[in-house]
Structure 1
Amino acid sequence: MAAPSECGIKARFSFSIIGIVFGVSIFLTFGLHYKNWNTSLWGLLSGIAAALALFVHIQYTRKVWQTFPYRLKYWMLLGCFIQLAGVCGFVAYITLAVTMGQGLIVYGNGYYLTSIWCFMTWKWGFLLFYFSRSYKRLYGDIYTILPQDPKDNIHGYYSDS
């Protein structure tokens, strides 16, 4: 797997920062002004997931993952959990909106707007998983090429007989 270009890294940084800004602004706008706390909290969770994705990119540029590539599996797992929360929320809020016969409501409990931010949370969870996995593959390929030390006798190179 090829390493991302410098332009690609800058784009990842930019999109992650935009995701953080939008998530925090949705939290403040829909929570304080429109009193739609469902949308507000899902927007905040989306911003947090974008911040985690930004953190993974920053650690890549600092070459932390080169030293500790095994830690990326925890970030992949976290991305899976965020995706699961986003999908469950999306299905739940769409079901609530349809069964209650709701239209597009901004003030109060507007479930269609909340489902949009559940989808955005799913998206950032997926991107967190995807980029953690791609960085893990990038550095995992390096470590699988290195030869094992035959003196460790871990892989049965030597026998005592």
Structure 2
Amino acid sequence: MNGETQIQKAYESILGHDFEKAIEWFEKAIAEEPNNAAYHYKLSITFARSNKLFKAIEHASKALELVKDNEVYRYHLQVLHARELVEQAQKQLSAQSEHAERAIFLLKEAITLDPLAIEAYLILGEAFAFRKDYGRAYQTVMEAVRLEPHHEIAKQHAALYQQKMKL
């Protein structure tokens, strides 16, 4: 027996907004076909949508291990690693100024992995603003605005940092 039946059940669960059940079905499909990279990839996406980043990275890594030259799997894993770095940076910043430099490093690395990670640009702007480097904060959030011109928070932050530069 193959895992296609379980995959269909997983998709039905997703359509019903039951992501926990979808995870169970994807795991059953993987039990049937443990070397099916597509199943690991699909489970990874569901874990990521459920904010279970560690498990998402685990299955994305397995998918790429099984099919090393798959660019979709590689990109997905990069995006997950970028999210992980953003989360680490947020923790660093919440620990206050002594960790701002580490947070900036992590956020720049996240942007390298996923240049479309708007959240990374916004938090990086906050990190620069925390150091009172409003010029870099402004430039950083303007990059987010360039990527997503209708992003209201990015535009608000840009206006704030521009105002602070004038003070």
TM-score normalised per structure 2: 0.37
Bigger Rg, which one: 1
Q: Which has the higher contact order (CA 8 A, sep 6+)?
A: 1
